[in-house]
Amino acid sequence: MQHSKRILVTGGAGFLGSFLCERLLAQGHEVICVDNFFTGSRWNVAHLLSNAGFEVIRHDVTFPFYVEVDEIYNLACPASPIHYQYDPVQTTKTSVHGAINMLGLAKRVKAKILQASTSEVYGNPNVHPQPETYWGSVNPIGPRSCYDEGKRCAETLFFDYWRQHSLRIKVARIFNTYGPRMRPDDGRVVSNFIVQALQNQPITVYGSGEQTRSFCYVDDLITGLIRLMGTSDDVTGPINLGNPAEFTMLELARLVLELTGSRSEIKFLALPVDDPQHRRPDISLAKTALDWTPQTPLREGLGSTIAYFDRLLASGQSSGHLAAE
């Protein structure tokens, strides 16, 4: 039986954070969920409140936070373009000031700390698939740079704390993840397509639809995060966590139409600025260091996600009951 730990999850009421809290509690740990509820939702963790080992605290990580913990998962940051571009200055502060505050906390209490970074650190990549050794191709002054560069700076801070203070760090570069508890209004392609299809509205495909993404089901991603945190201290990352199966946006749209039985038509719109043309992780390092590969095929994961959105839309509660990454 593993030793019970006291674990802090920032962004714990978000899409990924709520599943992480759930899994850690199931493993017998105490969990402190911190969230400012900008994109997170209390509904995502409401079912956990009866657990004596679970605590929710409303707090913004851009301000210092004081608590005694053994481990920290730093997931706090809006992750969809609609939400992180709504207040780009605050997005950068969340990534940078949030990292500084959580690293400072980890240093004070001697906790191990994991940073939820992103595939967006690779920008619009010139290397495909993207290995961790690739430094990326990012526009530092574009509308997406608040998120892309904020996450890149957070990685810098993590490795500087590791070099300068011998802090035990873990950095995960998360590729497109989907599943129940995504927000229907987050603007990300999976939630967009599913909600549009369920309402028989036009499926909005940006550009030609030939741009590609790789989709990882949330359960697989959470397993990867926990395995990374549990590895020896010499495994710092960054480590790509994502599904290497690659799909065009048109392939995804047609699969969603098939699974929902929707009457929606596909509508093409202009491609957003700096939108990456390709996104696919090289997960060789995750396979060797974590013995991790995604287990959920896209068709199966979409089935669970569609069922969730179908229930949500039928209940009329789609405005505030989901959360972004």
Please tell me the distance from the alpha carbon of residue 21 to that of residue 30, in angstroms, as a whole number: 9
- Dihedral, CA of residue 13, residue 17, residue 21 and residue 23, to nearest 10: 140
Return the closest-CA partner of residue 61 out of 24, 29, 14, 19: 14
Distance from the Cα of residue 208 to its chain's centroid: 26
* Alpha carbons 185 and 192: distance in angstroms, whole number: 7
Asked if 73 is an active-site residue, the reply is no
CB 57 within 8 A of CB 36: no
The runs of H, that is alpha helices, within the chain are 15-26, 81-84, 88-109, 145-165, 189-198, 218-230, 249-260, 284-290, 298-315
Q: Which of 73, 84, 147, 161 is catalytic?
A: 147
Give the span between the Cα atoms of 308 and 8, in whole angstroms.
Answer: 27
Active centre residues (catalytic): 147
